[in-house]
Amino acid sequence: MAGTTLTQPTVRTVTTLADGRQLIYYDSGIAAPRDTVDRRPLDPPSHGSEVRLDPATGAWVTIAAHRQARTYQPPAEECPLCPSRDGRLSEIPAADYQVAVFENRFPSLAGPPAPPVEEADGLWTSGPGTGRCEVVCFTADHDAAFADLTPDRARLVLDAWTDRTAELSARPGVEQVYCFENRGAEIGVTLAHPHGQIYALPFTTPRTARMADRAAEHRAATGRNLFDDLLAAERAHGERVVLAGRHWTAFVPFAARWPYEVHLYPHRRVPDLTGLDDAQREEFPALYLELLRRFDRLFGGGRTPYISAWHQAPTGQRDELALHLELFTIRRTADKLKYLAGVESGMDAFVNDVTPEDAARRLREVAS
């Protein structure tokens, strides 16, 4: 399985797991020789997810009952994302790795595209849950976190996200590629090893669809791009800016939903990760690592639970939407969490316990 050059100096090596799922190693520089043979006696993966269209809201919902059997918070010595060592076989056959990406064994979405079916009365539309779900292992170190990575390793992860976005976006039936990380048991993480996920979705997510509608309204009213104006306004106002470089700016949004929420935008608007230029890629790792480390310092140390979400334009809406990263925590104080209770969960109407201006000030105070 020869390593192929992705973008200098990143090299990727593609192999196959025992049940036929794809595994890709990403290495900085020349890939070290490694055993890529998966010796586990695995049955072929099974999945039977379905997507159903909510007739009242127009939002797609994925039904994936098979995921009830997925691995849930195993002890560290049984972690499936650690390298295979000392006779203990995992999802990673190699004895070590830098960054690894593989198809999820319990995917929410899988398989080739298929058209949805509409019931005769016209109310109910459904179809198979096609698409792809991948796991991204940021490091072989089980006890590390993304914030512990070096800038070079964070850049390697960025290269992996970009490579997967390019490949998955080109697949028939994929409308949107979503790269994200959930961290912390409070978020609902089932595996403690530092990792993220990538979903290749057969539909546009509801949040992205609302953004697209707002962007279209703004263009019609002003003749300008919504996200260009939003970024320029936050940079000029300054009170909610947390961190700024030559090519990226991080700010707490004016109407933040979460107690501590930061949006990170490249100054030159691009639709997805594949559009970033060399200067943007070079600056991103240090800025992003600093943001993560500030989140960890917010509450007196320790690892703050968070969700880090890349918002990328769907394949058919690339002109007006802007790539950006949204990072937020559900923690509002050192010992209190922000629960989505009646008004948030029931009506999707958020109530924030921290003013965005105070959140931005606090995130500036905990700078390195």
**H or E segment to which residue 218 belongs:** helix 206-222
3-state helix, strand, coil split of the chain in percent (to 5) is: 25, 25, 50
Query: Which positions ≥6 away from 169 have C-beta within 8 Å?
Result: 177, 200, 272, 274, 315
**Residue 84 corresponds to which tokens in the numbers above?**
């295979």
> What burial letters (b/e) apply to 143-171, b meaning 16+ CB within 10 Å?
eebbbbbeeebbbbbbbbbbbbbeebbeb
Say which amino acid occupies 179: C
Question: Which residues are designated catalytic?
Answer: 195
Q: Give the whole-angstrom CA distance, residue 178 versus residue 77.
A: 30
Q: Give the whole-angstrom CA distance, residue 147 versus residue 159.
A: 17
What backbone torsions phi and psi does residue 279 show, to the nearest 5 degrees?
-65, -40
What backbone torsions phi and psi does residue 294 show, to the nearest 5 degrees?
-65, -40
Half-sphere exposure of 332 (CA within 13 A, CB side): 15
